[in-house]
A and B are shown apart, each in its own frame.
Chain A
Amino acid sequence: MADLRIKIGSLKLRNPVILASGTCGYGAELEDFMDLSELGAIIVKGTTLEPREGNAYPRMAETASGMLNAVGLQNKGIDYFEKHIYPHLAEYDTHVIVNVNGNTIEDYVELSRRLSRLNAIPAIELNISCPNVKKGGMIFGTNPASAREVISAVRNVYSKTLIVKLSPNVTDITEFARISEEEGAEAISLVNTLLGMAIDVRTMNPKLSTVTGGLSGPAIKPVALRMVWQSAKAVKIPVIGLGGIMNADDALEFIMAGATAVQVGTASFIEPRTGVEVVKGIERFLVEKDFDSISRIIGIIN
């Protein structure tokens, strides 16, 4: 047995494997396949103050070793969430984190304030990196001054664990990692999707209704890994690594590059049990290599 427990700020996770926002619904969608309590945490889908219909169809294009999506934060809004979804989430024996989105700083602040009142939500992931919305999202996460402003404003009203989800669509991600740390975030998660596009040459049309969308899957893993490695060296707060993790070896790469925890995303679409398989694989690796704790290998690559 190896000790898989980790800490994100004051939040204690039984293991470092988290299901990424937008790829695990509200958890219930995956309950037929696995016991969610075997995971460190789940981050439920991107939530906004108001209900959103998202972007027009088509929103998805398969690409080499990955996929583009342009969902655009379709969700039923915080009122519906609080009334109809939260009661079920509160029964889970795993940490439930909510991914927070908005058009304006006021939106982020108000939503964070609402979520801070929900006892069974111990943390939020501040999404300043969604590439598929016209307002907010990545606009905050690609401008240092805006990023600082929104993180600081949310920090003022949210006293539980604050995670900031960073965009890879920047020249120097460590700048945003440092800003998050300076403004009081307990952790950063990276990377969100890379902005990309695809064209159907036969119809001569873009494959997405929005032309551009977010690329995820193994195609982005080397880029994500490099950014996690850079960021982990730039800040002292924990880094949560994600981007193309399909199995335990992929997750171990992120951990060795400096990630305290990892998120499994797109892989769950193809193999819904990936998250629990990654937990098992990490433990097997530690036992085989005779490490008593996950902490022995975090950031082992300098």
Chain B
Amino acid sequence: MKKRVEDLTVTDNRRLTDSFFVLKVHSAEGLPEINPGQFVQALVTESPATFLRRPLSVHDVDHSTNTVSLLVQVAGPGTERLSRLIPGENLNLIYPLGNAFTLPSAGEKVLLTGGGCGMAPLLYLGRKIHESGIKPHFALGFRNRSRVLENEEFKKLGQVWLSTEDGSEGHKGFVTDIPAFRDEHWDKVYCCGPEPMMKAVAAVCRKREIFCEVSLENLMACGMGICLCCIVPTTSGNLCSCTDGPVFNIKDLKWQTSG
């Protein structure tokens, strides 16, 4: 799949919470094929403190309107600047980057789990799975009720279970405490979220011998496999999370958690 550098046009910028927003950008050239799990490198302009591009997960894709959605969390001056983009402004992207999640086979039962910004790639993954004729299930975890991100689009695709650490919404605890995750049979589990969450999910899946892919968010400079900064120790040595990932099967990662 050919990568490109392109100026896309912002068509919408919607606040979800004080720190999360969804950017929609339109490609006049027409979108290339984009697979769930892939990401973009966004150029941040007019932010002197920001030197490098910002890697952002593809949240959703609408090929009928050539629009990509990006779920972004304000984490510093770069993403703060992106949060102030207004419709009509340009956003320069290098995309599509990285590998993709392995889609399930017909008849498989799948769980998509994550939290916070890690929810970003799960919507498009869920949509692709739904299009293939499988109903996805979602387990989404948050710190508390005020941090819960809207999940209406997820509900249109399949069952959604929520967890909060204080129990203020959904199940009390982590996503791994959601009874359906613990007790039901799963053929494939996909996870994207904070590292402790992914490690906990991976530990459960390893124990139950469930196929599990996680999407990592390492610090990177280029996103194209050149700088070798975003490395992940794997069973086949240090790999780039930008080109060999961001999606990895947990059996290839050197994660030694007992769960």
Does B225 sit at the interface, judged by CB under 8 A?
A: yes
CA of A63 to CA of B52, assembled, Å? 9
Q: Contact between A272 and B224 (Cβ–Cβ < 8 Å)?
A: yes
Contact of B238 among A54, A268, A269, A270 (CB under 8 A): A54
Contact of B227 among A30, A53, A63, A69 (CB under 8 A): A69
Contact with A along B212-224 (1 / 0, CB 8 A): 0000001111101
- Given A59-B229, A71-B227, A74-B231, A268-B222 contact (CB < 8 Å): yes
Q: Contact between B51 and A58 (Cβ–Cβ < 8 Å)?
A: no
Q: Which of chain A's residues 72-116 have a Cβ closer than 8 Å to chain B?
A: 74
Does A273 sit at the interface, judged by CB under 8 A?
A: yes
Contact with A along B79-117 (1 / 0, CB 8 A): 000000000000000100000000000000000000000
CA of A208 to CA of B153, assembled, Å? 39
Contact with B along A134-154 (1 / 0, CB 8 A): 000000000000000000000
- Given A69-B229, A270-B51, A270-B53, A53-B221 contact (CB < 8 Å): no
Contact with B along A18-38 (1 / 0, CB 8 A): 000011110001101100000
Q: Contact between B231 and A269 (Cβ–Cβ < 8 Å)?
A: no
Contact with A along B40-52 (1 / 0, CB 8 A): 0001000011111
CA of A53 to CA of B233, assembled, Å? 9
Q: Contact between B227 and A269 (Cβ–Cβ < 8 Å)?
A: yes
Q: Contact between B224 and A67 (Cβ–Cβ < 8 Å)?
A: no
Contacts of B220 in A (CB 8 A): 60
Interface size on B, residues (CB 8 A): 29
Q: Contact between A71 and B43 (Cβ–Cβ < 8 Å)?
A: no
Contacts of A69 in B (CB 8 A): 221, 227, 229
Q: Which of chain A's residues 178-208 have a Cβ closer than 8 Å to chain B?
A: none
Does A258 sit at the interface, judged by CB under 8 A?
A: no
Contacts of A32 in B (CB 8 A): 2-4
CA of A217 to CA of B51, assembled, Å? 9
CA of A270 to CA of B223, assembled, Å? 9
Contact with A along B115-151 (1 / 0, CB 8 A): 0000000000000000000000000000000000000
Instruction: Report the tally of A-B residue pairs with Cβ distances under 8 A.
Output: 87
Q: Contact between B229 and A60 (Cβ–Cβ < 8 Å)?
A: yes
Which chain A residue lies CB-closest to B232?
A57
CA of A271 to CA of B44, assembled, Å? 12
Does B180 sit at the interface, judged by CB under 8 A?
A: no
Q: Which of chain B's residues 35-64 have a Cβ closer than 8 Å to chain A?
A: 43, 48-53
Contacts of A270 in B (CB 8 A): 43, 51-53
CA of A67 to CA of B50, assembled, Å? 10
Contacts of B49 in A (CB 8 A): 64
Contacts of B227 in A (CB 8 A): 22-23, 60, 69, 71, 269
Does B228 sit at the interface, judged by CB under 8 A?
A: yes
Q: Contact between A74 and B228 (Cβ–Cβ < 8 Å)?
A: yes
Does B28 sit at the interface, judged by CB under 8 A?
A: no
- Given A54-B231, A57-B231, A71-B227, A272-B238 contact (CB < 8 Å): no
Does B237 sit at the interface, judged by CB under 8 A?
A: yes
Q: Contact between B51 and A71 (Cβ–Cβ < 8 Å)?
A: no
Measured CB to CB, the residues of A under 8 A from B are 22-25, 29-30, 32-33, 45, 53-54, 57-67, 69, 71, 74, 217, 266, 268-273
Measured CB to CB, the residues of B under 8 A from A are 2-5, 43, 48-53, 94, 218-222, 224-233, 237-238
Q: Which 3 A-B pairs have the closest CB atoms?
A: A60-B229, A269-B222, A32-B3
Additional A-B contacts beyond A59-B229, A71-B229 (9; CB < 8 A): A22-B227, A32-B2, A32-B4, A54-B228, A57-B230, A67-B221, A71-B227, A71-B228, A269-B227
Q: Can you offer 25 A-B residue contacts whose CB atoms are under 8 A?
A: A23-B226, A25-B225, A30-B226, A33-B5, A54-B228, A54-B238, A57-B219, A57-B231, A57-B232, A58-B219, A58-B229, A62-B51, A62-B52, A64-B51, A65-B51, A67-B51, A71-B227, A74-B231, A268-B222, A269-B226, A270-B53, A272-B5, A272-B94, A272-B224, A273-B5
